[in-house]
């Protein structure tokens, strides 16, 4: 046999190819997991930031609305006291309803509490449940 014609084995080439392929697959999976974790972290940070911003805006909105309600109540204290002392006078309630509608165009309803803690007018019926009524007493 001629020394130039040695038998060559493709086994080392196959082993190197398989090792390289396995390394490429492992690196790809590691990089994918790394990117997914980074993406999730960035999304969580963005959601926390947006939730904090929304919380601040909603808090400011509620605070501003409470100030408007207080201002309205202070401006209409006499009429509110008269309605609280009356026995569900629809005419007085309608007059206050019109004033409220002028001040708060998108209001849903209103209620005045009398000295005994009762609601005037108490015309909510089944629309307002016990939990809401309980919360209204503490408001």
Q: Could you tell me the residue range of the domain that residue 58 belongs to? A: 12-75
pLDDT tens for each residue of 53-108: 999 999 999 999 889 888 988 998 888 888 888 776 778 888 888 888 888 888 77
Q: In terms of domains, do 81 and 114 share one?
A: yes
One domain, residues 134 and 83: yes
Specify the pTM: 0.54
For residue 27, being part of any structural domain is answered with yes
Its sign, for the CA torsion 12, 18, 21, 23, is negative
In a domain, 1, yes or no: no
25-33: long-range contacts (C-beta < 8 A, 24 or more apart)?
Answer: none
C-alpha span between 39 and 126 (Å, rounded):
48
What distances in angstroms separate CA 73 from CA 90, 96, 104, 112, one per listed residue? 19, 11, 12, 10
Predicted confidence at residue 44, as pLDDT, reads 95
Query: Of 28, 55, 75, at which residue does a domain stop?
Result: 75
Please state the φ and ψ torsions of residue 119, each to the nearest 5 degrees.
-90, 135
């Amino acid at each position: 046999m001629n020394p130039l014609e040695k038998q060559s084995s493709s086994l080392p080439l196959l082993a190197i190819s398989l090792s390289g392929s396995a390394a490429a697959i492992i690196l790809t999976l590691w990089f994918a997991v790394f990117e997914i974790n980074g993406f999730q972290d960035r999304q969580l940070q963005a959601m926390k930031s947006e939730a904090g911003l929304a919380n601040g805006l909603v808090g400011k909105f509620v605070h501003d609305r409470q100030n408007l309600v207080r201002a309205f109540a202070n401006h209409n204290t006499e009429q509110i006291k008269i309605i609280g002392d009356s026995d569900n006078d629809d005419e007085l309630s309608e007059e206050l309803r019109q004033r409220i509608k002028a001040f708060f165009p998108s209001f849903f309803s209103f209620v005045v509490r009398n000295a005994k803690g009762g609601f005037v007018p108490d015309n909510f019926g089944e629309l307002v449940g016990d939990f809401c009524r309980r919360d209204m007493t503490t408001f």
